[in-house]
Chains A and B, each alone.
Chain A
Amino acid sequence: MTRMSANRPLETDDALTLAGAGRRDGALATMKRGLRLVPELRQGLGLTLLLALIATGGRVVVPLAVQQTLDRGLLATGGPDLSQVAWIVAGCAGIVLVTAGAAYLLNYRLFRTTETALAALRVRAFRRVHDLSMLHQQAARRGSLVSRVTSDVDQMSVFMQWGGILVVTSTGQLLIATVLMAVYSWQLTLLVWACFVPLAVALPKLQRRLAGVYATVRERIGDLLGAVSESVVGAQTVRAYAVEDRTAERIDAAIDRHYRSAVRAQKTTVLVFTSGELVAALANAAVVVAGVLLGIGGHGLTAGKLVAFLFLVTLFIAPVQVASEALSEAQNALASFRRVLDVVDAEPDVADPAGGSPLPPGPLAVRFDSVMFRYPQANRAALVDVDLEIRPRSRVAVVGETGSGKTTFAKLLTRLMDPTSGQVLVGGVPLTEVPFGSLRTRVVMVPQDGFLFDESVADNVRYGRPDATDDEIVAAFGALGLGDWLSGLPDGVLTRVGQRGEALSVGERQLVAIARAYIADPDVLVLDEATSAVDPATEVRLTRALDSLTRGRTTLIIAHRLATAENADEILVVDAGRVVQRGPHAELVTQDGPYARLHASWVSQRQ
């Protein structure tokens, strides 16, 4: 868990779901929404459909050839007419070549269109995740957000290219087969359709059932991963407490549950698939019986036509089977599509104001004007009635117990969230009117966990100012009193920090984060002090670097240690979302109040 959520640890995930999520659009509604949000999907759709029609036309060649060959060549009155057969075969071969060409173009176009659209959708969703308020970016939810721009999009890509092609060509095939069948015999065509009506009626129900069993499988995989991770992430605890057997049992139970759900899903799929097969046979048998009777009755049906019709029935059946086959995949893809669209569709609750007024130059004052903040769906406000004035270039520290709401100050001042009521002003301008471009360069936060990217120290510092040179960065470390630390690194400023900066210690990561803020050179600083203990040498470096960083800047410190607070110009003591005490350290420590109590316990603990 990051700090951001630590001050409201008991909150459930409900508040964090995306605005649009939970609504379960039907398939059609999702498609419509998709076409609206991903216009690239529509590109050249007409030509693609035309190609699909031509491509599937090729499949009619076999029944056509058989019928023509039988009726006009082989069963021709006066014995088999070979030149007729040759002509028919040659003509059909030509058609096959043309349709194969069309099929190639169709496949290629579908890949190109869908991949282009999905890449655009992926990038759009990625950007939107960053735009969404921090509420959505809780650590617990990050995994699912990542999956929306990765596996969810991949799932759609897989479906559109295997399933999508099948659906497009199958629909064409269904249409062509029906038309041709009707040309041969409308009575038999009706009969075939009648056989498939019950299946078509049952399909939505089967579809729901399939969706249900596959949802269970996905859930079980999640449980499985959770159980496995206990043996990996908890390796030390498992050994220290010798609970290997218990852990193994829990893993095995999760494996078994996943196995059972997967087999069940397989059985359901087979059920759907085979019902199509049986209906197909029924249709075939019915056509033979009815066709013979019709033919004898003299309805213009020939033996060749009836046989060709039987081939057409196969052609008609295949798409229906494919449809039932592709259903489960379509379900997954639709669910994925919905999840991605939910992200793209979500309205950022903190928006970059169009126009607006940039912050005035020079030192900036900060003012909280009767600010109240409540997390969505929370019963209790996180902050109530906060009025606060930070004079330009002065330091204010917020202290309070875990869960008191002090981190909310930081989020409001950096405009990661907007107050539920009241407003936050910087340099006299309400934050809601400051363009992000101005806000993010003038108001900078040093977050608690000092997250680093898997790049060099210099590249990480450059997140603060992209055009900073390596020399400037070295100079920045020097100015912060960290020159000796930097030169102690294996490759100096070019040292790679590893994933999440794990090649450095927690405290050292914080040092880089401070340099990052320093190079950004903001006028307002928000410090969320690190809570976890670092070794004393680094602690001393940190404190000194922070001193240099905050010098001459308007600073709000979320203080988790009182040593930091002592040096602030003013201290706010927060309890249950309210400012209960304020004043400089020297004054507060003499008053009989919460601060004196906090201070006493801290002092006694230092002894």
Chain B
Amino acid sequence: MSRGSTDVLVRGLRVLGIGIREQWRVFTLAVIGSALYGAMTVASAFVMGWVTSQVIVPAFEDGETTAGALAGAAALILGVAILKVVGIVGRRVGAGIVQYRLQASYRRRVTRQYLRLPLSWHQQHPTGTLLSNANADVEASWYTMAPLPFACGTLIMLVITAVALIATDPVLAIVGFIVFPAIFTVNFVYSRRMAPLMTRAQQLRAEVSEIAHESFDGALVVKTLGREGSETGRFRQRAEELRDAMIRVGRLRGMFDPAMEALPTFGTLAVLLVGGLRLRSGDTTVGALVSVAYLFSILATPIRAIGWVLGDLPRVVVGWDRVQRVLRAEGGQEYGAVRPGRTGAATLEVAGAGFAYGPQVDPEGDLSGAYAEEVRQPAPVLTDVSFDVAAGRTVALVGPTGSGKSTLVSLLVRLVDPDSGAVLLDHEDLRELVRGGVADQAALVSQATFLFDDTVRGNVTLGEDIDDEQVRAALSLAQAERFVDALPQGLDTRIGERGTTLSGGQRQRLALARALVRHPRLLILDDATSSVDPAVEAAILRGLRSADLGATVVVVAYRRATIALADEVVWIERGRVVDRGTHEELIGRTPGYALLVNAYDDEAERRAGLVGAEEAAR
């Protein structure tokens, strides 16, 4: 425990060092501001002393004073205060800029990694973790940069105070030297004992949040089965554990705060006692005594800034480690130099492609900061997959769930690279194409659609210069024109997170339009109409069949209607191409294929008797 916390202390300070190095200019300004503030705080004590001995006491003794003396006193007090304010502004604005600049800079770096790292990396890391890496973890890393200039300024102030005390009265200074280390010790012990309590509370807070998330997500189940009571019980248990943990935190803080307040007061009292002795022996003056006493009463708070910084270091280290795990992640695709220049439908060739997924990474991991992945022998998803599609042809990829179709599709547009073998577009290995070259030629519409927080138009064009006429044509082909026109602002309607909500089918249709508007030379549909109403789906398929797409099409399908789009079927089982041919050929010779394609109809037949059978035969 003690070694661990020392380690955290050292590593936390190292993180602060990195922050200071990256923003040293503004940081220096903030520290100067803080030092000015500290110096002026000390100075104000001496001003009080000076005003007492030079203005107040003589005035009361003599029964008179001069306007000059009074004006001088007022000017001194105000002057010091103004400089102090300048110091505060410099310190706090500077500290804020340092903190927020570091946040912005690391958010940029983290999100650049998100965009750079391969899809396989994304698949290994839960969304929630990645979002909190970019948000809460970055924030935690630089959290202490805000009080840091204050703490540095305080250190400077302590040195100044020490010098000033010695200069004023060395004996009284000794009293101060006893009080300050006592304050530090209390602070240190407090931070050490508080850290585990806070960690526990933080953990419980996360658990409370998890239960709430899950329970509200499953609200429909909870409600329709009348399980609100037991869910509340589950939530209450954690909420009360959190309460108890926080009360333990409160008990410790309850001891700490009064101790921190009492220590300087005891110092002041000691100064008065010792000061009285020295005053009698003529070794000090009333003014000096007042100065020193005043110093103690104002020093207590700034000194605690050092405690704030030290106390929050564990949080910094945890945040930093999590951010570093993203920043140090390796991977990312390399690109070649070939610029695709052809037009018209492309030829596609998959040559002996093999692929296996890496292991899932534990999202929490340890706090050691080492990015160590446990390496397991991953099971292959695709094995020696080979097939080709001539320009302009349409091929259906058919296979049972988990046979590797979606993985194969992601190879075709180079979302991932095969472990062995190659994917060739117009006889060119995809890895040889320039960055963006594949996206230029091929478009993928997947089952899970993603819409950007943007307008309908923006979601279709993705920022490319495509005129509305073409956008409309694509929407029309995707059977999306009608509902888009019904939206409040048509093409300009904002959708996504903060805009209008679309149904799953509508989202899929927009995603389809997004692909079609680009006139891709290779179009890949991965069960792209799964959420669309059957009637609309039929219209889409009819449209695609009759439109002259000028593209080579690969379509992943379960249903006959979709398969009917294809000139040829590639049948995949357990990551291997088992058969290929026309639908009729496969129905005749591949039992697995016949079973799968006929499953719906067989079932309808079983249930509805002859009616279904007649229709299926038609």
Contacts and interface: CB of A to CB of B under 8 A. Distances in A.
Contacts of B436: 242
A103 B487 contact: no
Contacts of A402: 503, 505, 533
A605 B92 CA distance: 67
Given A118-B243, A130-B215, A228-B107, A284 B224 contact: no
B618 interface: yes
Scoring A221, A243, A288 by chain B CB atoms within 10 A of each residue's CB, the highest score goes to A288
Contacts of A99: 258
B351 interface: no
B533 A9 contact: no
A605 B413 contact: no
A111 B225 contact: no
A42 interface: no
B439 A242 contact: yes
A445 B146 CA distance: 53
Interface in A187-239: 221, 224-239
A134 B212 contact: no
B225 A303 contact: no
A301 B213 CA distance: 65
Given A115-B247, A291-B56, A130 B223 contact: yes
A263 B93 CA distance: 7
B24 interface: no
Contacts of B89: 270, 274
A236 B446 contact: yes
A298 to B, nearest CB: 8
Contacts of B181: none
Interface in B483-498: 486-488, 497-498
A82 B277 contact: yes
Interface string B290-327: 10011011100000000000000000000000000000
B250 A161 contact: yes
Chain B at the A interface: SS class: helix
A256 B108 CA distance: 10
A96 B265 contact: yes
Interface string B401-424: 100000000100101000000000
Interface stretch (B12-20, B162-170, B232-240): B232-240
B100 A226 contact: no
A307 B60 CA distance: 12
A12 B88 CA distance: 46
Contacts of A247: 115
B219 interface: yes
Given A92-B269, A228-B131, A539-B603, A129 B453 contact: no
Interface in B562-606: 564, 595-597, 599-604
A296 B70 CA distance: 13
Interface stretch (A386-394, A420-428, A447-455, A485-493): A447-455
Interface stretch (B71-79, B171-179, B188-196, B546-554): B71-79
A593 to B, nearest CB: 14
A235 to B, nearest CB: 4
B224 A232 contact: no
Interface string A528-564: 0001111111111001000100000000000011110
Contacts of A436: 226
Nearest to A13: B501
Contact of B273 (A89, A225, A266, A444): A89
Contact of A61 (B61, B135, B265): B265
Interface stretch (B368-376, B378-386, B465-473, B535-543): B535-543
Given A100-B258, A228-B131, A540-B599, A270 B88 contact: yes
Contact of B119 (A88, A112, A126, A236): A236
A285 interface: yes
A239 B442 CA distance: 12
A539 B599 CA distance: 8
B561 interface: yes
Interface stretch (B2-10, B47-55, B148-156, B339-347): B47-55
Nearest to B81: A281
Contact of B92 (A270, A439, A539): A270
A161 to B, nearest CB: 7
A66 B48 CA distance: 13
B231 interface: yes
Contacts of A58: 261-262, 265
Nearest to B438: A242
B585 to A, nearest CB: 18
A225 to B, nearest CB: 6
B527 interface: yes
Interface in A486-544: 499-500, 505, 513, 516, 520, 526, 531-540, 543
B142 to A, nearest CB: 12
B457 interface: no
Given A66-B290, A82-B276, A248 B112 contact: yes
B127 A285 contact: no
B208 interface: yes
A100 B261 contact: yes
Contact of A129 (B77, B92, B216): B216
Interface string A272-286: 011001101110111
Nearest to A122: B239
B220 A4 contact: yes
Interface stretch (A30-38, A69-77, A329-337, A361-369): A69-77
Nearest to B37: A277
A43 interface: no
A28 interface: no
A85 B502 contact: no
A563 B261 contact: no
A110 B250 contact: yes
B544 interface: no
B107 to A, nearest CB: 5
Given A241-B439, A562-B534, A65 B269 contact: yes
A62 B299 CA distance: 13
Contact of B130 (A110, A232, A286, A534): A232
A145 interface: yes
B462 A246 contact: yes
A180 interface: no
B435 interface: yes
Contact of A9 (B61, B73, B269, B501): B501
Among A85, A251, A292: residue with most chain B CB under 10 A: A292
A436 B618 CA distance: 50
Nearest to A145: B216
A606 B115 contact: no
Contacts of A86: 273, 276
Contacts of A93: 266, 269
B96 interface: yes
B214 interface: yes
Given A118-B243, A314-B298, A453 B104 contact: no
Contacts of A240: 413, 415, 439, 443-444, 446
Contacts of A5: 501
B427 interface: no
Contacts of B127: 229, 232-233
A285 B56 contact: no
Given A69-B272, A73-B276, A278 B135 contact: no
Most chain B C-beta atoms within 10 Å of own C-beta, residue among A151, A240, A601: A240
Contacts of B203: none
4 closest Cβ contacts across the A-B interface? A111-B250, A440-B226, A281-B81, A536-B599
Given A127-B228, A146-B209, A146-B212, 17 more contacts: A9-B501, A61-B269, A65-B268, A82-B276, A100-B261, A108-B250, A129-B216, A130-B228, A237-B450, A244-B116, A273-B88, A311-B297, A401-B535, A444-B225, A536-B595, A536-B600, A606-B561
23 contacts: A9-B500, A10-B487, A74-B275, A96-B265, A99-B258, A101-B258, A107-B250, A123-B235, A126-B215, A126-B239, A127-B228, A130-B231, A242-B436, A281-B84, A401-B533, A447-B221, A451-B221, A453-B214, A453-B218, A463-B222, A505-B401, A606-B600, A606-B601
